[in-house]
Amino acid sequence: MSKNEWPLWEIFIRGQHGLNHRHVGSLHAPDAEMAIRNARDVYTRRNEGVSIWVVPSNAITASSPSEKGPLFEPANSKVYRHPTFFDIPDVVGHM
């Protein structure tokens, strides 16, 4: 194995419609500039994007799968955060 393996980058692309950059995958490249060039070839061959972000994979801190419960379960019991929780009479009109 080459001791010189290119580092891994995570690739984020903003599509045509002005939405957020979205994670599309990863790739290897020697530096950020090459990562952008490679991402253009690997992830935008069919007009998938108008902007590319590249981030070194080792710069990403992720939540741990074992924390899933404590992190996300509290939201389950708070259905009143959704507008559909409230019954508003039709006569009031759109709200």
Give me the residues that bind other proteins (CB under 8 A), please: 1-2, 4-6, 8, 25-28, 30-31, 34, 41-42, 45-46, 62, 64-65
Task: Report the nearest approach of other proteins to the CB of residue 42 (Å).
Answer: 5
Which token pair is 47?
């007009």
Q: Which is nearer to other proteins, 5 or 87 (CB)?
A: 5
Residues 6+ apart with CB under 8 A from 56: 7, 8, 9, 10
Burial of 86 per CB tally in 10 Å (0-12, 13-18, 19+)? exposed
**Residue in this structure with the two tokens 């509290």, named with its chain if needed:** 74
Helix or strand or coil: residue 56?
strand
Q: Which is nearer to other proteins, 45 or 81 (CB)?
A: 45
Task: Report the nearest approach of other proteins to the CB of residue 18 (Å).
Answer: 22
Task: Report the nearest approach of other proteins to the CB of residue 78 (Å).
Answer: 23
CA Rg value for the chain: 21
Q: Which is nearer to other proteins, 14 or 56 (CB)?
A: 56
Q: Which is nearer to other proteins, 14 or 44 (CB)?
A: 44
